Amino acid sequence: MSELLPFVAVEHNPANQPIKHVVIWLHGLGASGHDFEPIVPELGLGELAVRFIFPHAPQIPVTVNGGYVMPAWYDIIEMTLDRKVDTAQIEASARAIDKLVEQEIANGILTKNIIIAGFSQGGAIAYHHAFTTPYQLGGLLALSTYFATKNEIKDVGVNDGILVKIDHGDYDDIVPKILGEQAKSSLEKLGLNPVFSTYPMAHQVCLQQIKDIGRWVKSVYAQGQDI
């Protein structure tokens, strides 16, 4: 992944202000960067000017799906509870996200004003990226996901002060809620204080959650920063 990932950019900027805040949001297995575009106007961000970057994962064979080629951030080798995954591909995807961060730095964005978000497989990349990147980020949003590289991550690097929100569905039969709870525990052992919320839903997002995410996004950008 030496080239910049293709992506969709959506700006929420009702007052036509200079963009100072960015969310890089990673989709799940088999989806695309268009997957979460519709949530932007539902977040209730008011006058806050935010650029959303929704990258498209590369097309790769996925072992648990019979080797079928589809958009994926990494290969899933066995669909056990903890998942057997290709950690080298997770690392490569995380470094590809670094390039998107660097693009925003070139656009004049402070890294502390960047939130990394991910749903399902994209959330696993968001976890790994946040704790291996050289850039100090503002927030980490992990949705219906799991900490795939928890055994490889021994410390949180430069992001020891990152704000973390973990959301999960009570009835998620794709990524069981216990994996979200385990991620929360792993982050606490690393010295972080994640906020963990559950919603009466399956492997998806819901409107109440989207409103809560919007409030959280505003709180991240408001913490010691000009919004």
- Give me the domain span that covers residue 80: 7-222
| Ordered per-residue pLDDT tens for the chain, 227 residues | 458 999 999 999 999 999 999 999 999 999 999 999 999 999 999 999 999 999 999 999 999 999 999 999 999 998 766 778 899 999 999 999 999 999 999 999 999 999 999 999 999 999 999 999 999 999 999 999 999 999 999 999 999 999 999 999 999 999 999 999 999 999 999 999 999 999 999 999 999 999 999 999 999 999 845 43
Say which of 12, 21, 203, 212 is annotated catalytic: 203
- The pTM score is 0.96
Task: State residue 2's pLDDT score.
Answer: 57
Look up the CATH number of the domain holding residue 181.
3.40.50.1820
Say which of 12, 86, 120, 144 is annotated catalytic: 120
* Lookup: tokens for 51: 């650029």
Structure letter (DSSP) for residue 22:
E
Distance CA 62, CA 72 (A): 8
Query: Which SS3 state, helix, strand or coil, does residue 158 take?
Result: coil
Q: For residue 117, is it within any domain?
A: yes
Q: For residue 181, is it within any domain?
A: yes
Task: State residue 224's pLDDT score.
Answer: 47
Q: For residue 1, is it within any domain?
A: no
Q: For residue 68, is it within any domain?
A: yes
Alpha carbon 125 to its chain centroid, in Å, reads: 7
Q: Do 76 and 62 contact (CB within 8 A), yes or no? A: yes
Say which of 27, 172, 186, 212 is annotated catalytic: 172
Task: State residue 81's pLDDT score.
Answer: 64
Q: Do 184 and 166 contact (CB within 8 A), yes or no? A: yes
Q: For residue 172, is it within any domain?
A: yes
Q: For residue 2, is it within any domain?
A: no
CB-neighbour burial class of residue 207 (10 A; exposed 0-12, middle 13-18, buried 19+): exposed
Q: For residue 164, is it within any domain?
A: yes
Amino acid identity, position 93: S
172 is catalytic: yes
Which residues have a Cβ under 8 Å from the Cβ of 176 and sit 6 or more positions away?
81
Q: For residue 227, is it within any domain?
A: no
170 is catalytic: no
Distance CA 109, CA 36 (A): 22
Task: Give how many domains the chain has, as a whole number.
Answer: 1
